[in-house]
């Protein structure tokens, strides 16, 4: 499953307001509620699952990237939201650097292989310097989405 399969331009936030990883997770989950990817009544339970996973080990993997993720039985398909922070988010990343690109995704409970495969694809894509630079320089969500679709198929 590729990044372009998970995201629509309405799930891309080109100007995250968050200053830390918890706020970033909340902001991205709020986007999933606003775009009807998760039910409003499941918002807090899903946020708790993602934050519990994040507490066990930061998903700030270096290079300005954060990939918070979790499995939950409250969704039926892989969903995600992508945020960009121009000033950087304190994510307790492995390299102790602020995170500028945050990709939150959720996988239905019990789909372990799909979860790993999705995580690997996203991490591999975000490790490409030219991809990260293109996203950081894109003027808006539509341009970011176009970049994701273009690179996501490679």
Which residue among the candidates 69, 115, 117, 127 is catalytic per the annotation? 69
Asked if 127 is an active-site residue, the reply is no
Nearest to 21, CA basis, from 115, 101, 109: 101
Alpha helices in 7-152 (DSSP H): 21-34, 43-56, 112-126, 129-137, 141-152
Cβ distance 40 to 33 under 8 Å? yes
Nearest to 83, CA basis, from 116, 53, 105, 115: 105
d(CA 65, CA 132): 9
Neighbours of 149 (CB within 10 A): 15
d(CA 113, CA 123): 15
- Mind telling me the catalytic residues? 69
């Amino acid at each position: 499953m590729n990044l372009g399969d998970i995201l629509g331009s309405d799930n891309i936030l080109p100007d995250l307001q968050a200053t830390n990883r918890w706020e970033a997770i909340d902001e991205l989950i709020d986007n999933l509620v606003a775009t009807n990817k998760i039910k409003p009544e499941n918002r807090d339970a899903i946020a708790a699952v993602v934050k519990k996973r994040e507490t066990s080990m930061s998903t700030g993997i270096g290079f300005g990237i954060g990939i918070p993720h979790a499995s939950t039985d409250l969704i039926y398909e892989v969903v995600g939201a992508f945020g960009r922070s121009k000033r950087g988010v304190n994510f307790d990343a492995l390299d102790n650097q602020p995170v500028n690109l945050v990709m939150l995704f959720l996988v239905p409970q019990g789909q372990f292989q799909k979860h790993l495969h999705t995580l690997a694809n996203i991490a591999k894509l975000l490790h490409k310097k030219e991809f990260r630079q293109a996203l950081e320089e894109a003027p808006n969500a539509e341009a970011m989405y176009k970049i994701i679709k273009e690179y996501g198929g490679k």
